[in-house]
Amino acid sequence: MQPDEARRRLADLGFDEEDARTLFDHFDEAERRGKVSHGYARIEWLETLPGLQPEAKPAKVFSSPGLDRWEGRGAIGYVTLAAICADLATTPPVSARVVGAAGCFPTGALGLWVRRLAEVGLVALLTATSPPRLPHPAGGEPLVGTNPLAIGIPNSEGEPIVVDVSMGRVTHGDVLLGRASPDELVPFGGEQAHKAFALALGLGLWVESFVGADYGAVLVVAQPEFDPAAALRERAAGLRLPGDR
Amino acid sequence: MQPDEARRRLADLGFDEEDARTLFDHFDEAERRGKVSHGYARIEWLETLPGLQPEAKPAKVFSSPGLDRWEGRGAIGYVTLAAICADLATTPPVSARVVGAAGCFPTGALGLWVRRLAEVGLVALLTATSPPRLPHPAGGEPLVGTNPLAIGIPNSEGEPIVVDVSMGRVTHGDVLLGRASPDELVPFGGEQAHKAFALALGLGLWVESFVGADYGAVLVVAQPEFDPAAALRERAAGLRLPGDR
């Protein structure tokens, strides 16, 4: 799919200009960063998603110095996370804040959201829940989502460092693209898959503690006191770091 | 080592009664939960630790609704984390709070701290930095610590769920105990070790953003709105979950 076709199909789905641009920008950046399973292919997936409400808008329903709560209210997760990031860029936390987003699915490539926050100088840690796809290492039905963890670190001297790790050996996007079979969708780690399973389970319950059983996201965002990214890049001496192209 | 000997040797190190009890309780609970690399063996390690300041006391140096900052001030990390947990149990956050602890090392088995918070009804996510021990998957000198992530989920109907995952294939404690060789101390995950490396790197920079290059810890703690642990246990239908004995 080419950019023009991607834009047109998003508009055809019924999204207004702003939301279509939000979605296009996310898929396009995912393509450019090599995260193609989060790229244009997701437009075909949206076209088949039951109950899509392109006109729905998320809302911030609670705000305190330590915690904001958002509700998707039928909006697609990308739109809700874009609204949260825009809100935080406009009115950043004085020190630190947790943001819970209920009814926020799908959330796309989480690394792109924390990168946006890192680019405005905020350090961020973001995780999100998704349908159960990973079984317990002992077997059985899928019990937890791939529940990625993304961390964005601003860098006053250059590129932010952006970590974005799914707890699955392959992504659901890879399965959608036919690049992996569903039975490869297990916790990563091989003989230590219990570790990735534990992370997926813990992150999933962490999110559920804030937003309930509906899929959602929890973001922790703060004004960094220190600026450690450049020193780490120097120590890494040219080795490719997470998030680098 | 038996409990009586453990208590005596901690007192001999110069800790006052309260701090010796804090340390004993941590090591003893680690032993009882099978985390022996975080158990009594650490007392021998403390006996060899240069610059131990058993009389030092941590201090909370900043507090706002969204963020507390603590400094270890020479205190051993266990004592600082115990003080933070006690403070949060006495004056829990109204909604959510991030707690940064600078100069907080070693921190022990992080799962035990979030378990304590879960037992007073708080959901918590805790990570900590430690000396570089894990090399980049492409090789080279150790670049990041084993930087574990612990998540504690209260359970109104029974045992909390406690996740505690080190990003190393083996623990530094296992190396100390002679159960693993130093060259096994690499990111876990085998052919996907880049994922555990990325998590260790991201969590390490996350902590450094709050506390600087000295080893420290960052805790995110909140009043849960929901109580998802029991439902997950039911869905798991008897499978062993993280943190269970």
Which neighbouring-strand residues pair with A136? Answer: A139
Low-confidence ranges of chain A (pLDDT < 70): none
User: What's the pLDDT band for B72 if we cut at 50, 70, 90?
Assistant: very high
Put simply, the answer to whether A237 touches B95 (Cβ < 8 Å) is no
Test mutation, B141, B185, B209, B239, chain A, max A CBs within 10 A? B209
pLDDT at B31 exceeding the cut of 90: yes
Predicted ipTM? Answer: 0.97
Structure confidence at residue B60 (pLDDT): 98
Structure confidence at residue A236 (pLDDT): 95
Among partner residues B67, B229, B232, which is closest to A96 by beta-carbon distance?
A: B67
Put simply, the answer to whether B165 touches A199 (Cβ < 8 Å) is yes
Structure confidence at residue B11 (pLDDT): 96
Structure confidence at residue B104 (pLDDT): 97
Put simply, the answer to whether A229 touches B140 (Cβ < 8 Å) is no
Nearest to B168, CA basis, from B201, B125, B141 = B201
Structure confidence at residue B171 (pLDDT): 86
Structure confidence at residue A231 (pLDDT): 96
Question: Which residues 123-162 of B are in CB contact (within 8 Å) with A?
Answer: 123, 125, 136, 138, 140, 143, 149-151, 153-154, 161
CB A218 within 8 A of CB A211: yes
Query: What domains can you pick out in chain A, each with its CATH number?
Result: 54-236 (3.30.1370.60)
Averaged pLDDT, B144-164: 97
Structure confidence at residue B172 (pLDDT): 83
Nearest to A211, CA basis, from A62, A85, A89 = A62
B23 against B176, higher pLDDT: B23
Map A127-143 to HEC letters.
EECCCCCEEECCEEEEE
DSSP labels for B125-182? Answer: EEEE--S--EEETTEEEEEE----EEEEE--TTS--EEEEE-SBSS-HHHHHTTSS-G
Reported as a single tens digit per residue, the pLDDT across B206-218 is 999 999 999 999 9
**How far is the CA of A72 from the CAs of A83, A140, A200, B30, B226, in angstroms?**
10, 32, 22, 42, 17
Q: Is the pTM of this model over 0.95?
A: yes
Reported as a single tens digit per residue, the pLDDT across B88-125 is 999 999 999 999 999 999 999 999 999 999 999 999 99
Which neighbouring-strand residues pair with A164? Answer: A150
pLDDT at B174 exceeding the cut of 90: no
Residue B184 tokens read as 């096994």
Averaged pLDDT, B134-154: 96
Residue A100 tokens read as 């819970």
